A and B are shown apart, each in its own frame.
Chain A
Amino acid sequence: MGTAMDNEAAFARALLDAEAAVPAGIEGREGGGAERRFAVYRNNVHANLVDVLAGRFPVSAKLVGDAFFRAMARIYVAKTPPDSAVLLRYGGGFADFVAGFPPAAPVPYLADVARLEWAWHGAYHAADAEPLPQEALAALVPRAERLALTLHPSLRLVRSNYPLVTIWERAARDGGDEPVRLPAGGEDALVLRPALEVEVRRLPEGGAVFIQALQDGARLPEAAASASAAALAFDLAASLAGLMRSGAVVGTSGSA
């Protein structure tokens, strides 16, 4: 017998490694063998965490089918078990794992869908804040030169080289397994929970650069300049109105 920490480590290792033997000192009924009994724990650990991921990435699971998703998730669980008892935080590395998981390569946009779902999950649990009313926009315009905007804590951006929002909407609606003709070009998604419902919107050209700059603390003219440099068609008035309308703005600064 080693120390308590050693024994616990051996138990934990055998849980995560399906090939490992039952740890020394673990018994079944009346001192009997414990293979099958220990397997209950091993199965619990994996199945419960795979369930967590399946619940957190439901559209990804639809796109590849439940069996493929669970097999993929099980590999992720074994490689990256949770590092916190707060399972709400689990799965942040899943999209990157999917991006580097060769069997998923035939669905090249899968990792971006997983990113969008992680953003959705983050928005759902993010801090609450009261959006500024739309009418506040008119009052902001005269001060726009010096204004920085405080965006909603739930706001997340997901940029994609694929028509991500279209893929996500269709899969969420239709089940995702029938082949669809996708529009060409990428789409950027705005994920936001102004009140209790998480909303996913398709951003216009330059919109993501604009919002990212605002999130980084840029004032309106600088953010607009970045967006215009990234996309000639960027329309400041429309983007600003869209942000206000969606409830993305919770405050302003630099107006004094």
Chain B
Amino acid sequence: MAASVSFGTNPVPPRGGAGLKPEHYRTILDSAPDVGWFEVHAENYMGEGGPPHAYLTAIRERYPVSLHGVGLSIGGAGPLDKAHLSRLRVLADRYEPGLFSEHLAWSSHDSVYLNDLLPLPYTDATLSRVCDHIDEVHDAMARPMLLENPSTYVAYAETTMSEIEFLRAVVRRTGCGLLLDVNNVFVQAINHGFDPFDYLDAFPAEHVREIHLGGHAEDEDAGGAPLLIDDHGREVAGPVWTLYAEALKKTGPVPTLIEWDNDVPAWEGLFAEAKRADAAIAACRTSQPGPAGASPRP
């Protein structure tokens, strides 16, 4: 369906934003909270009509919006789903999001959708495939995409390069931007036993256009080593806020989303986390101008 209204360009500002949940539609419209922007999961708005579109339209009239896909399976071995790609394009044309992002992961095999963000090995072959897929997304969407670093629980014996090397190569070859999920960095570091600050140091911060923060659950693996589960089901953990402050020093002020998708709290709980991100961004602005070449938006 064609958009009946044009929202015009409305860039996502370098402020705290919140993942938009149906539980909060009414409160947001009634209380008009001073939150920088909202992000939506694209697939939740692929119905034809009804309350999801009515509320998103009303919220889009008042706030900048970012579109975040969870189902494109960019890291998959097979071809991208062209029908899904065109559904994404229709949504982007309708809501004119300030940012569009997807994951370094796969989630479909053949025609089965597995509804999880699954890991891929990092090899020359997977690098070529991911780059081809991102080129295809760029062509289909006619707007740049941001690629999000994953959280994973297992590794592949066939992997030949680090995640950072892989991401750097993808950016170089495709020109895509990066979505730095700081919680995923922390989860990865604990689950695979590396220093998250080293990862951040090596991360190509100059290409980061958006940051994600979210909660994780704590478990352990069969060997008794800690295993963190990226469940987006609670507040952002203390160490992740610390890591975030460090990340901001490298990226400069960038739009920062709070993801809270399970056991969703009352709006005030999510809003408080977004305000905390706002405060961290403000602190980063006053402490330093940010590294040369880092800019909040292209």
Contact = CB atoms under 8 A, between A and B. Distances in A.
* Most central of B84, B115, B222 by chain A CB within 10 Å: B115
A88 B44 contact: yes
B221 A36 contact: yes
B54 to A, nearest CB: 6
Q: Could you tell me the dominant secondary structure of chain A's interface residues?
A: helix
A126 B53 CA distance: 11
Contacts of A5: 77-78
Interface stretch (B12-20, B93-101, B132-140, B151-159): B151-159
B279 interface: no
A218 interface: no
Nearest to B51: A196
B82 to A, nearest CB: 12
Contacts of B235: none
Query: When A and B form their complex, which 3 residue pairs have the shortest distance between CB atoms, in order from nearest?
Result: A85-B71, A125-B47, A128-B49
Interface stretch (B162-170, B201-209, B223-231, B286-294): B223-231
Contacts of A3: 77
B50 interface: yes
A25 B156 contact: yes
A44 B115 CA distance: 8
A38 B222 contact: no
Given A27-B156, A85-B107, A41 B118 contact: yes
B113 A84 contact: yes
Contacts of A15: 114, 116, 118
B73 interface: yes
B108 A29 contact: no
Most chain A CB inside 10 Å of its own CB: which residue of B72, B155, B158, B223: B155
Given A45-B114, A86-B87, A196 B156 contact: no
Nearest to B76: A8
17 contacts: A8-B77, A12-B109, A12-B114, A25-B157, A29-B192, A30-B193, A31-B155, A31-B157, A35-B222, A41-B154, A86-B87, A88-B44, A125-B48, A126-B50, A127-B49, A153-B49, A154-B49
Contact of A48 (B71, B84, B108, B116): B116
What size tier do the contact residues of chain A reach?
A: 35 or more
A251 interface: no
Contact of B50 (A1, A28, A44, A124): A124
A25 B191 CA distance: 18
B223 A128 contact: no
B24 interface: no
Interface residues of B, number: 54
A27 B155 contact: yes
Given A5-B78, A8-B77, A128-B49, A81 B112 contact: yes
B107 to A, nearest CB: 7
Interface in B108-157: 108-116, 118, 121, 125-126, 129, 153-157
Contacts of B161: none
Contacts of A40: 153, 219, 227, 229
A25 B192 contact: no
Contacts of A27: 154-157
A44 B152 CA distance: 12
Contacts of B112: 12, 16, 81-83
B24 to A, nearest CB: 16
A244 to B, nearest CB: 21
A36 B220 CA distance: 9
A86 B48 CA distance: 12
B115 A82 contact: yes
Contact of A8 (B43, B109, B158): B109
A81 to B, nearest CB: 5
A208 interface: no
Contacts of B71: 85-86
Contact of A86 (B46, B52, B118, B154): B46
Nearest to A88: B47
B81 interface: yes
Given A12-B114, A28-B154, A52-B115, 18 more contacts: A1-B158, A4-B125, A9-B110, A11-B109, A27-B157, A29-B192, A37-B191, A37-B227, A38-B153, A48-B115, A81-B112, A84-B113, A85-B107, A85-B108, A86-B84, A125-B47, A125-B48, A128-B54
